[in-house]
Amino acid sequence: MFYRMVSFLLRPSARRVKNYWTRSWMRFAGLSRFGRLASWFAAWFTAPYFGRGYLASLNPNGFVSHKAVIHHSEIRLGANIFIGDGVTIFQDCEGGPVEIGDRVYIFDGNCIQTGYGGSVKIGNETGIQPRCQFSAYKSPIYIGRNVQIAPNCAFFPYDHSFEPGKLIAEQPVKTKGGITVEDDVWLGFGVIVLDGVRIGKGAVIGAGSVVTHDIPDGAIAVGVPARVAKMRAESIK
């Protein structure tokens, strides 16, 4: 009984100590080696995964997990970003910049890579759920503002040539001009977006779809390949 009473009395104090610890370390968070270490300390008493999302609001530099792998010389991070465990941001040969806007949340296991002039730009307030792949080779990937990307989505703005008589791995990479996902788009689980595609503002792409052609503004598209099923405006009638 006495132990329970003491625990009850100390519990608010323990919460205050944890909160002070977290906020104190988040003051030093950033991309530097010490900044990454500070983020690690700050996360000690927080829940994992989504539970750490609020840490990004505690410092304009945001929260970059110490378990994220960032090997990129042209990365530009906006204010209050979140980069979770196991995220990889990689610059391959002649890779262009990666620009991440304000309050972008990139959760665990995502991979963003640029090579051969390709680049990635992600607009403000966009959320990217786990295990998505952004491979920007030869052409850019542009993701607008307030885009919601479900887990396991993939973006490939290039393709291999496959002429007969020569190993595919030895053939050149070609592109139709990149990928553009406009503002307020929602991509369902496992969507694949291929080369030369524009997904219009406010569009919704159903889970498992493969987008091979442009999708107009406000459309709901599903299937392999993705086709417009109806317009969002029709769903409110």
The pLDDT-based confidence of 10 (bands split at 50, 70, 90) is: very low
Contact 156, 177 (CB under 8 A): no
Lowest mean pLDDT among 44-48, 81-85, 134-138: 44-48
Note the pLDDT of residue 114: 97
Torsions phi, psi for 7 (to 5 deg): -60, -40
> Is 213 among the residues known to form the active site?
no
Instruction: Report whether pLDDT(220) > 60.
Output: yes
176-196 residue pLDDT tens? 889 999 999 999 999 999 999
Lowest mean pLDDT among 5-14, 137-146, 203-212: 5-14
Instruction: Report whether pLDDT(175) > 70.
Output: yes
Which residue would you say has higher pLDDT here, 111 or 235?
111
Contact 205, 198 (CB under 8 A): no
- For the residues 53-71, what does the mean pLDDT come to? 95
Share of the chain above pLDDT 70, in %: 93
Closest by CA to 142, choosing from 120, 158, 125, 127, is 120
Instruction: Report whether pLDDT(9) > 60.
Output: no
What is the C-alpha separation between 9 and 160, in angstroms, rounded? 65
The pLDDT-based confidence of 7 (bands split at 50, 70, 90) is: low
DSSP string of the chain? -HHHHHHHHHHHHHHHHHHHHHHHHHTT-SSSHHHHHHHHHHGGGS-SGGGGGGGGGG-TT-EE-TT-EEE-SSEEE-TT-EE-TT-EEEE-TT---EEE-TT-EE-TT-EEEEETT--EEE-TT-EE-SS-EEEEESS-EEE-TT-EE-TT-EE---EE---TTS-GGGSPEE-SS-EEE-TT-EE-TT-EE-TTEEEPTT-EE-TT-EE-S-B-TTEEEETTTTEEEEEGGGGG-
What dotted CATH number matches 67-232?
2.160.10.10
Instruction: Report whether pLDDT(1) > 60.
Output: no
Catalytic pick among 71, 72, 160, 213: 160
Tally the C-alpha atoms within 13 A of residue 104's C-alpha that lie toward its C-beta. Answer: 22
Which residue would you say has higher pLDDT here, 96 or 160?
96
Instruction: Report whether pLDDT(15) > 90.
Output: no
| Domain ranges, ordered by start, for the chain | 1-61, 67-232
